[in-house]
Every structure is written in structure tokens, then in C-alpha cells.
Amino acid sequence: MQKLNPHFFDDFNPKQLNSPKRSANQLTPEEMHAVLNGDVSLNGIVKKIKSGEIKNILVLTGAGISTNAGIPDFRSPETGMYTNPELKQRLKLSPTDAFSLHGLQHEPQTFYTIVKEIFGPVLLGNYKPTKTHKFIRLLEKKGLLLRNYTQNIDILENIVGISEDKVVQGHGSFASARCTLCSNVFKTDSLESPFWKTVLQGGVPTCDKCSDETGKNVVRPDVVLFGEPLPSRFFDLKKTDALKCDLLIVAGTSLLVYPFAGLPNEVSKTCPRLMFNKTPTGLFSKANQETILNNTLTAMPNTDNENYRDVVVLGDIDEGVSKFIQLLGWGEENN
């Protein structure tokens, strides 16, 4: 029989019998309060940045940050592609169906009509980077940008001057293209390249290294089509970036498409999370809400007393980001 510790009853606390056990990743009330010092607002995040406590900002961006540049998105009823009736009449597939491998192979003209409409003006300089793109570049200049994970394939990150190492093109890009039949690589870095000349003239680029009577030698840009896996670089970096991140900013994405949408759940529980969007979505549905209109922030009633780190600024994304920059005192630098 095991000998009883004589101090067993001295240490016994009956109140602990019914108290819930705290899991290893659960924060105490004091730890939760320390995340934003109890100020769960845009201004609370500004104070943390100004104090120097935030040094590694992870930015997740989607189509919503490019609509102010004039680029239509795939889904929005206000700014989506189908708001252009002339373009809608020319498309034989929906944009979502066209941007699938099946759509590209069986209806390449629709795919490249969309590419011409969106990316032609970007390359011609008609669509310029927005204030939000410039803000991400400013974060890099200040040494605060850990990484920008983008769902966009419009290359405005490249045009605004964000370093290639700081950008993860989650859905690929138009930096290169290849034949869908023989995988021959084509240059796409110039408007004078055969690829872009063909696209801007309304045609479908095909491979000159192989011929195929079925038309399957279509050249495709290295973008992620619907149903395809994300690039390996996304998976190589996301875990270490999430652990290092001390502020997460989400802008212009509904966080509906996985695995991209899972990134906000991978950051530390002590990491504040900030969203700029027209509507609160996903895990930000219970965030503390502030609206931006005419450069004025208005706090909405808090619906979740347990929220200690999530803030969403509702309204025009560029306007919300501009207010953020103003509060940080960086206004003259974001040009």
C-alpha cells in the first residue's frame, strides 16, 4: 500500500473539484486583456504599432482591394464582371467556370476574353495600384511587413513595388505561362511577348513547339485554376509566418476559399486581427465593428463580450486603410 503524503490535506482545495480545466492554448483573462490593453478597436491597434510592440504584420488580400482600381471581381453584384452587359453577352461560360482547367481546355476563347478585359488594362497602365496596395508597400518600407498573401492574380503587388520575397501569390500569377500539352514555358514579362500580343488582339495563345488537332496545345498562365492546389510556396511559408506574425490584417476577401481562408486561425491567440471589408465575414462576424464614412470612424455596439482581439472596419476599403494610416501618422508617406 502506498504511503500517504502527510501534506496531502494541507494542499487540498475543494473549490478546484468543480472548476473547469484550462487547456494549454487557452488564455487567462489577464492575457486576453494584454493583447490590446482592453482597447479592442482600430485605435487600440494603432497604439500597439506606435509603441513598437508590433513588428511582423501579415497581410491577407483579395479581390476587394483591386476593385477601386477598376478591376471587376468574380462574385460581387456591384463590381463583378457581369455588370458589363456587353462582356456578359460575349462569355459562353461564367467567369468561375471559365477559370477551371476544363473551361480553359474546352472554351479557351472565353478564358482569354476575361484575361484581356482584366489584365490588358493593367499591363497598359490603365489600372493603377490602390491606396491599399501602397499601404502594404509602406509597411515593407517601415520594416513591418512579414508577408502579403494575396488571392489576386492582377500583379498590382508587383507594379506597386512590393518585393517579390514579401509576396505569396496564393493563386499564382501571370509572371509565366506554359503549354497545357507539353509544358513548354513561355515568357510573359512584356507586352511585346507573343503571348500578350495574341491575347490583346483577342486571340488564344497556342504552343509553337507542338501541334495538336484537338486544340489542346493551348498556352495557360501559371495561375491557380478552380479545383487546382495552391503553389508549394504557400504551404512552405504559411506555418512559420503564422507563428511569427504579431498583427494580422485581412483586406478585401470574404475568406470563403480554403486553404487560404484558414490562415487567420493559424496565428497565435495573442495576435490581434484586423479586417477591412464591406461586410464582416467568417471569424470576423463577431469582431468589434467600426464603420468608416467621410473619414469618420463610428463604433458599432459590441455583440460579443468575449472578443478581445478582432476588429473589423466596414466600408470602402481604401477609405478605411487611409484612416488607419492617418491615425498612425503616416499620411504623407503613402504616395
- In three state form, how does the secondary structure of 209-263 look? CCCCCCCCCEEEEEECCECCCCCHHHHHHHHHHHHHCCEEEEECCCCCCCCHHHH
33 is catalytic: no
Of 272, 274, 273, 266, which is closest to residue 243 (Cα–Cα)?
A: 266
- The single-letter code of the amino acid at 194 is P
Task: Tell whether 207 is in a known binding site.
Answer: yes
Helix axes 42-50, 29-36, angle to 10 degrees: 80
Q: With beta carbons less than 8 A apart as the criterion, state whether 85 and 175 touch.
A: no
Task: Tell whether 179 is in a known binding site.
Answer: yes
In the numeric block, the cell 512584356 is attached to 190
Task: Tell whether 271 is in a known binding site.
Answer: no
In the numeric block, the cell 477551371 is attached to 100
Sequence-separated (6 or more) residues with CB below 8 Å from residue 291 = 297, 298, 300, 313, 314, 315
What is the CA angle 189-159-99, rounded to 5? Answer: 65
Active-site residues: which are they? 171
Annotated binding site: 179, 182, 207, 210
Annotated binding site for Zn(2+): 179, 182, 207, 210
